[in-house]
Amino acid sequence: MSGPRIGVLALQGDVREHLAALAAVGAEPVPVRRRAELDAVDALLLPGGESTTMSHLLRELELVDVLRARLADGMPAYGSCAGMILLAGEIVDAGAEGRAAIPLAGIDMTVRRNAFGRQVDSFEGDVTFAGLAEPVHAVFIRAPWVERVGPGVQVLAEVAGHPVAVRQGGVLATSFHPEVTGDRRIHRLFVDIVTGRT
């Protein structure tokens, strides 16, 4: 039996790394750039990258309303870094008007872009993650953090008092990049969410 068909939004960012990670944990990963490709997947992963660039391309390809509708209808999704920003209901410091990052409202949360600082402030470290026996080695690159969560949002990990991993129903988000470390537990968790095992 094959795993769930999970799309990776392939507009910009760590697309190849996420495709490989999903394949390693038993999913059938496919790149998504068009409406027909989005319609054909069970779930969607929004990778790290540059949230304003990704938002610009979502507008150009007329995918914003489609994505919001799929999320509202319960499509499972996972966003890492820029993907977390896009899955928010509200974005602090969203960017310049006309090129601002677009909140897709997948999770009832407010996210601050580049909250930990610029590229030179990027860092990595071990983070305790709810439900996992061992800490996750997390890589933060111009990472966001969560400033507010709604009542239905579960905080899974924190750094410096700020949530950096959250879940609401079938939607998961991390401000760090698990695709670059070789630790597949976050991707396995997402597959389990998609298949209803957790």
Task: Please state the residue numbers annotated as binding site.
Answer: 49-51, 113, 141-142
Q: Rounded to a whole number, what is the largest CA-CA distance in the chain? A: 47
**Is position 81 annotated as part of the catalytic site?**
yes
Place of tokens 């509202």: 72
Q: How far is CA 110 from CA 63, 73, 87, 98, in A?
A: 22, 21, 10, 20
**Is position 60 annotated as part of the catalytic site?**
no
Task: Please pick, among 17, 56, 179, 187, the residue that the annotation labels catalytic.
Answer: 179
- Going across the sheet that includes 77-80, the strands are 28-32, 5-9, 43-46, 77-80, 171-174, 162-168, 154-159
Task: Please pick, among 17, 56, 81, 187, the residue that the annotation labels catalytic.
Answer: 81
Task: Please pick, among 18, 56, 177, 187, the residue that the annotation labels catalytic.
Answer: 177
Classify burial at 32, counting beta carbons within 10 Å of its beta carbon; exposed 0-12, middle 13-18, buried 19 or more: buried
**Is position 177 annotated as part of the catalytic site?**
yes
Where is the binding site for L-glutamine, in residues? 49-51, 113, 141-142
Angle, CA of 58, 171 and 81, to the nearest 5°? 60
Q: Distance between CA atoms of 160 and 2, rounded to whole angstroms?
A: 40
Catalytic residues, which ones? 81, 177, 179
